[in-house]
Structure 1
Amino acid sequence: MRDRSPKEKPRALVTGASRGIGAAIAVSLARAGYPVIVQYRSNDDAAQAVKESIEKEGGRAELSRFDVADAERASAAMAKLLEGAPIGVLVNNAGVTADAPFPAMDLAQWQTVTRTTLDGFYNVTQPLVMPMVRARWGRIVNIASVSGVIGNRGQVNYSAAKAGLIGATKALAQEMAKRNVTVNAVAPGPVETDMFQGALAQGTPLDEVLKHIPMRRIGKPDDVAAIVAFLCSDAAGYITGQVIGVNGGMC
């Protein structure tokens, strides 16, 4: 099926889009002709830089600042966004880490991660589902992680949250399929982002990470953005409920 022309395309909301994978996804979707909503929690300068990068290439972008884990503020922000042009594409990318061995993990570390990933998914996705149903077209892509597929030491909270996101993906895909709304997950392996650099700074040996990646390199944000852009296109209309690894062969 031919992709709809830029003037026909609905807006695309990308959460956690001020840097890293989210920023790359926002730029990629803008290049595909979607007007992009760059959602972020706090870094005004980084979000503005993403917006300017999109506009420099002739794309359209707007900013939306709120914490996806904060139900009240997220609800208000989503209501305001829904007053504008239709939102037909959603990429749930916002996420945080708070790594620790499970016996030493405190409740705050557990809740910070699970609330951002799982509550954040609900807070942003639920208001958009019925508008997509009424439009009989929509694309929802959830950014999971290889940690949610195979687990990772020191990340019981993160692995649990991302595994939960995968379960939500599969269930929602079944609910939405008849309405031409696809729901998929992308599960990256290690990617060159501030989050990954933070893990290295805390003592994770790069050589040890590379041993587990058959391609022997760390992924780039654009590696993830490319598959997300495809899943958001009309060409991916018969793909739903899937978890696609972007991990250099990790299994």
Structure 2
Amino acid sequence: MLASSRSALASARQCRQMSHASNKLSGQVAVLTGSTDGIGLAIAKRMGQEGARVVVSSRRSHNVERAVQEMHDLGLKDVLGVQCNVGKPEDRHNLIDQAVCKWGGVDILVTNAAVNPATGWLLDCSESVWDKLFDINVKSTWALTKLVAPHMQKKKKGSIIYVSSVAGFGGIVPNAAMSGYIVSKTCLLSMSKMVAQQLASDNVRVNCLLPGLFKTRFGEVLHADNEISKFMLPTIPMRRFGEPDEIAGMAAFLASDDASYITGENFAVAGGMQTRL
């Protein structure tokens, strides 16, 4: 029974990966942070398959090179790789400047870069860890939005997608491993709504994705530990962890004209986990 279920999931995943031919993002330039692995890379690949010209980025150059090669291996040629530590202002400027220099602008921004530098309860968090959480998970998203917004406002069109976490809605029971991370990710829920209101008159849309528990390297603290996994799985009505490509379709939808009247919203992709404050 278990083998049959795994086979069905593998077959469904293969079908998802083979069915992206609508070109709904044709000609658009998509810039993604934290996009050389896991959810970020899955979104980058999907947007490339939908016709976008894609800029992938992360802190380490070898990860950028590997991600670009993976996309080339899929037949996606309009891909630019940029090394970018989103915590550094000069790197953020360079990321956007390179996209504009190569392709003339930025139509889509996906902010996926995030850190969880230390475990521990919230009041045990050091000031340096607290500063890093907010510098990378919150401030960099605000700063990158400020950089791309003028390009989108000039064209009177654009889509900005923040990647938060279903934990921000209370969908994951707060624990010592994630408490500071959860607080920082919750900030993105309100940021998307505030920025959406400011940019709506220029037809620039801002939405927020809230992934649940996905099988990624970043999420290993939850899915790779058998004891934690046994505790978390019953909180997911679908009784399994998500695969990165299962959130990529939602990101592509929000970036496309199919979502032209959607802004300021938070979307959970979490296998049915509860999403309430």
| TM-score, scaled relative to structure 2 | 0.83
Letter in 2 for 1:105: C
Q: CA deviation at 1:62?
A: 0.6
State the superposition RMSD in angstroms: 2.0
**2:66 is the counterpart of 1:49:** yes
Native 8 Å contact 2:168 2:185 kept in 1: yes
Native 8 Å contact 2:165 2:209 kept in 1: yes
**2:265 is the counterpart of 1:242:** yes
Q: Write the distance in 2 (CA, Å) between the matches of 1:11 and 1:173.
A: 20
**Paired residues for 1:221-240 under 5 Å:** 221-240=244-263
**2:167 is the counterpart of 1:147:** yes
Q: Write the distance in 1 (CA, Å) between the matches of 2:218 and 2:23.
A: 34
**2:112 is the counterpart of 1:93:** yes
**Paired residues for 1:47-196 under 5 Å:** 47-59=64-76, 60-85=78-103, 86-98=105-117, 99-150=119-170, 152-154=174-176, 155-196=178-219
| 1:149–1:5 CA distance, 2 compared to 1 (3 A) | closer
For structure 2, the 5+ residue unaligned runs are: 1-21
Q: Which residue of 2 aligns with 1:28?
A: 46
Q: Which residue of 1 aligns with 2:57?
A: 39
Q: Which moved more, 1:119-128 or 1:227-236?
A: 119-128
| 1:204–1:39 CA distance, 2 compared to 1 (3 A) | farther
Letter in 2 for 1:190: L
Q: CA deviation at 1:198?
A: 3.5
Native 8 Å contact 1:3 1:235 kept in 2: no
| TM-score, scaled relative to structure 1 | 0.91
Q: CA deviation at 1:202?
A: 6.8
Native 8 Å contact 1:141 1:228 kept in 2: yes
Letter in 2 for 1:117: N
Q: CA deviation at 1:51?
A: 1.1
Q: Write the distance in 2 (CA, Å) between the matches of 1:123 and 1:212.
A: 35
Question: Where do 4+ consecutive residues of structure 1 move more than 6 Å?
Answer: 2-5
Q: CA deviation at 1:199?
A: 4.1
Q: CA deviation at 1:75?
A: 2.6
Q: Write the distance in 1 (CA, Å) between the matches of 2:140 and 2:226.
A: 29
Native 8 Å contact 2:28 2:108 kept in 1: yes
Q: Write the distance in 2 (CA, Å) between the matches of 1:48 and 1:240.
A: 33
Deviation string 1:52-89 (CA, Å, 9 cap, x unpaired) is: 22223332101111211122332344334333321100
Deviation string 1:105-134 (CA, Å, 9 cap, x unpaired) is: 212221222111111102222111011011
Q: Write the distance in 2 (CA, Å) between the matches of 1:5 and 1:225.
A: 13
Structure exhibiting the larger radius of gyration computed from Cα positions: 2
Native 8 Å contact 1:68 1:119 kept in 2: no
Q: Write the distance in 1 (CA, Å) between the matches of 2:153 and 2:233.
A: 43
Q: Write the distance in 1 (CA, Å) between the matches of 2:196 and 2:133.
A: 24
Letter in 1 for 2:197: Q
Q: Write the distance in 2 (CA, Å) between the matches of 1:112 and 1:27.
A: 28
Q: Write the distance in 2 (CA, Å) between the matches of 1:75 and 1:203.
A: 42
